[in-house]
A and B are shown apart, each in its own frame.
Chain A
Amino acid sequence: MSLNKTLVDMDYLLNEAPREKHFITGAQAMAEAVKRASVDMAIAYPITPQSEVMHLVGDIYAQGHIKEYYRAEEELGTMSAIAGAARAGVRLFTATSGPGLLRGLEAIVSWPGHRVPCVLGILTRVVNAPLSIQPDNIEMAYMLHCGAVMLHAENQQDTFDYTLAAFAITEKVDVYIPVAVATEGFFVTHAKGYVNMMDEKYAYKEVDPYEAPVPAMDNEVPPARIQRDAPVQKSNFMSYLIHSVWQQEIWDSNRRAMKYIYQYLGGPIEVINPDADVFILASGCAAAQAREANRYAEEEGLSVGLIKVKAIRPFPKQEIRDALKNAKSVIIPEHNIIGWLASEVKSSIDNSGIVVDGPRVYGGMTLPVELIMTEIYTALGMETETLQA
């Protein structure tokens, strides 16, 4: 890079490089992570005003932290260009939100199959009519079955750390599929929080395009031909079995990412008060409210546990099963109407009857701690009052 950076591995960057406290927005936190990730290329259709991330990344490009940056015509073009650039073996970042994610989805869901290593920021917002630009993470449900690794950040600090870790995870030879880092629009992206960051002179070591499970396109190093062929589009000359085992390979790669989630993020879940009978289980911004509810409960002398889910894919089935093995009730607050996290948990545990479906808020509504407390009181057999909107 043109700037005089100290290139280090991800373990050093995340765990050893000295950090200083800053007070910044979630969007700034994601951009600051990109600044330290030795990104070669960022491509954007910024979907203002949901998130400033790609605008801020544009500033970072202007400062020389990124080699290439351009604004595509729309999201399908953006996400297709990411796939093309990945074939050239460069480190990539893009971010989008809500309707933008859905417009780019055709290209995005083909990334894992094409073995595209990149980091995708998802700053969630309402996607369904009536039109709104307010927070709601229903769009993550559309991403669950494409094979990508998915992390869900609770706050600005998580957004910074998860984004950095994502660059290391996506390029592991035994993973090499995209990693999406999601967090709630506005509640995290536009709100300020404390973020401990290492100095920007530190940056993640540059990508080695040859340390990959698929060949990078390189017309100077043979055999160039193997990448010029469309690998999966001439199905009449391929067995159906390769299509099947190829899909298996994507989900195997997703599964292999778990050990790196342990390495870089300390594991896919965080558990507080593991011996409790009643748990709150949440991801993303809802985990912040769940943490508050956990604190309220502690102040009231109630024994309530908290499970924060950091990794949505691979989903930590075994870890959640272990954490809930003695639980009598698990409350799952979410920022969407369908309750995709509750569905994931129900399908992971033997005793799905203990799952409380909610509370859920959507369409941009906030998630008051009192809503969660009401469910806690109910689970503990205590009397409650109904919270008025």
Chain B
Amino acid sequence: MSKIIEVGPVGYMPQSAPSMGVELSPEGQALLYGNIVSEEEAMRDAAKALLTMDNPTIFPGPQVLWDWKDDVAEKSAAILEMASEIPNCKIIPMPDYRPKYPKIDVKAEINPNHPNLTILDNRIKACVFIGVHCHYANLTLRMIRAGTDCYTVAMCAMMGHEEAMASIRDVHASDVLKFRDIIIEVRNELGIEHTPTMPPENPSLPEEDWGSLTPADYGEYRSLIMSRKGEHVADVE
């Protein structure tokens, strides 16, 4: 297979994948290095990258970090299961898309405005983006391809991403579990021994103390814990 989209760094000013002729895969198929392939073929290549390259990392975006619609919790649980099957896997979230000031904590999060800082500082050579809104995922993936040597996997709930080395589309919880199974399969083929292990806690997050929590602790996010329109909270723990 000729690779249209390759692991970077491709240089100072990257050419976008669509302008190089890469088109999104049709339903039921995937993209691998810019070529339309079967979902399984893309998943196997992605699994091999995550199992053999240094510091594999999953970057979950806001759509799987907050329990905002019915199927999200199931999908997030599947992501954790998938992570537990990848040796030495970390999870670093992309919780929002605003520029971080005065400086991003690269151990704690990744940001679309300067994703290379997190990739380079943590020496990440293979990663998975999941739950990131498509616009920001495309920007991030292209910048990573421009300035790093990281293999990127996009697991997209919608149509996928031309910029990723491997792009899986229409991803639901069942697809994440399918990818987990392929990771186990490829891991066994490669003879890598591994006991399922949850990724380490994010080092920069403060320890949670739910006992003394008040709405003020949520700061500008406090509106999020208020009741929804038309919702009446009768019981308080």
Q: Which A residues have a C-beta under 8 Å from some C-beta of B?
A: 115, 173-174, 176, 210-215, 219-226, 229, 231, 234, 237-239, 241-242, 244-246, 248-249, 251-252, 255-256, 259
Known contacts A226-B98, A249-B138; is A214 also within 8 Å of B133 by CB? yes
B68-A222 in contact (CB<8A): yes
Question: In the bound complex, how far is the Cα of B205 from the Cα of A203, in angstroms?
Answer: 49
A214-B136 in contact (CB<8A): yes
Question: In the bound complex, how far is the Cα of B100 from the Cα of A222, in angstroms?
Answer: 19
Question: In the bound complex, how far is the Cα of B136 from the Cα of A249, in angstroms?
Answer: 10
Task: Give every chain B residue within 8 A of A241 (Cβ-Cβ).
Answer: 143, 146-147
Task: Give every chain B residue within 8 A of A212 (Cβ-Cβ).
Answer: 133
Give the size range of B's interface with the partner: 35 or more
A213-B134 in contact (CB<8A): yes
Give the Cβ gap from B33 to chain A, nearest Cβ, in Å: 18
B98-A244 in contact (CB<8A): no
Query: Quick one: which of A213, A239, A252 contacts B143, CB cutoff 8 A?
Result: A239
Task: Give every chain A residue within 8 A of B13 (Cβ-Cβ).
Answer: 244
Query: Quick one: which of B112, B114, B162, B223 contacts A224, CB cutoff 8 A?
Result: B223
Chain A CB within 8 A of B24 CB = yes
Chain A CB within 8 A of B228 CB = yes
A226-B97 in contact (CB<8A): yes
Question: In the bound complex, how far is the Cα of B143 from the Cα of A260, in angstroms?
Answer: 28
Question: In the bound complex, how far is the Cα of B100 from the Cα of A235, in angstroms?
Answer: 11
A229-B18 in contact (CB<8A): no
Question: In the bound complex, how far is the Cα of B220 from the Cα of A255, in angstroms?
Answer: 39
Question: In the bound complex, how far is the Cα of B184 from the Cα of A231, in angstroms?
Answer: 39
A238-B114 in contact (CB<8A): yes
Question: In the bound complex, how far is the Cα of B100 from the Cα of A241, in angstroms?
Answer: 16
Residue of B nearest to A231 (CB): B97
Q: Which B residues have a C-beta under 8 Å from some C-beta of A?
A: 13-14, 16-19, 23-24, 62, 65-66, 68-69, 95-101, 112-114, 116, 133-136, 138-139, 142-143, 146-147, 158-159, 162, 220-221, 223-224, 228-229
B18-A256 in contact (CB<8A): yes
B158-A211 in contact (CB<8A): yes
Task: Give every chain B residue within 8 A of A234 (Cβ-Cβ).
Answer: 98-99, 101
A237-B100 in contact (CB<8A): yes
Give the Cβ gap from B138 to chain A, nearest Cβ, in Å: 5
Question: In the bound complex, how far is the Cα of B173 from the Cα of A91, in angstroms?
Answer: 30
B138-A223 in contact (CB<8A): no
Residue of B nearest to A247 (CB): B16
Give the Cβ gap from A102 to chain B, nearest Cβ, in Å: 28
Query: Quick one: which of A213, A231, A245 contacts B16, CB cutoff 8 A?
Result: A245
Task: Give every chain A residue within 8 A of B139 (Cβ-Cβ).
Answer: 242, 245-246, 249
Known contacts A174-B24, A242-B143, A252-B18; is A237 also within 8 Å of B228 by CB? no
Known contacts A174-B24, A213-B133; is A237 also within 8 Å of B138 by CB? no
Question: In the bound complex, how far is the Cα of B143 from the Cα of A251, in angstroms?
Answer: 16
Residue of B nearest to A220 (CB): B228
A174-B134 in contact (CB<8A): yes
Question: In the bound complex, how far is the Cα of B119 from the Cα of A129, in angstroms?
Answer: 55
In the assembled complex, 15 residue pairs joining A and B whose CB atoms fall closer than 8 Å, in A order, are A174-B24, A214-B133, A215-B62, A221-B68, A222-B68, A223-B95, A223-B96, A225-B221, A238-B99, A242-B112, A245-B14, A245-B143, A248-B19, A251-B16, A252-B16
Give the Cβ gap from A239 to chain B, nearest Cβ, in Å: 5
Give the Cβ gap from B188 to chain A, nearest Cβ, in Å: 36
Known contacts A222-B66, A238-B99, A245-B139; is A215 also within 8 Å of B114 by CB? no
Give the Cβ gap from B204 to chain A, nearest Cβ, in Å: 18
Known contacts A223-B95, A237-B101, A255-B18; is A173 also within 8 Å of B134 by CB? yes
Give the Cβ gap from B125 to chain A, nearest Cβ, in Å: 20
Query: Quick one: which of A229, A238, A255 contacts B96, CB cutoff 8 A?
Result: A229
B113-A237 in contact (CB<8A): yes
Q: Which of the listed residues A214, A220, A259 has the most CB atoms from chain B within 10 Å of its own CB? A: A220
Question: In the bound complex, how far is the Cα of B223 from the Cα of A244, in angstroms?
Answer: 34
A174-B224 in contact (CB<8A): no
Question: In the bound complex, how far is the Cα of B24 from the Cα of A252, in angstroms?
Answer: 11
Give the Cβ gap from A113 to chain B, nearest Cβ, in Å: 10
Task: Give every chain A residue within 8 A of B112 (Cβ-Cβ).
Answer: 242
Question: In the bound complex, how far is the Cα of B96 from the Cα of A231, in angstroms?
Answer: 10
Question: In the bound complex, how far is the Cα of B226 from the Cα of A220, in angstroms?
Answer: 9
Query: Quick one: which of B16, B23, B116, B158 contacts A173, CB cutoff 8 A?
Result: B158
Known contacts A234-B101, A239-B114, A252-B19; is A220 also within 8 Å of B229 by CB? yes
Excluding A221-B68, A245-B14, A248-B16, 5 further A-B contacts by CB distance (< 8 Å) are A173-B158, A174-B158, A213-B158, A214-B133, A252-B16
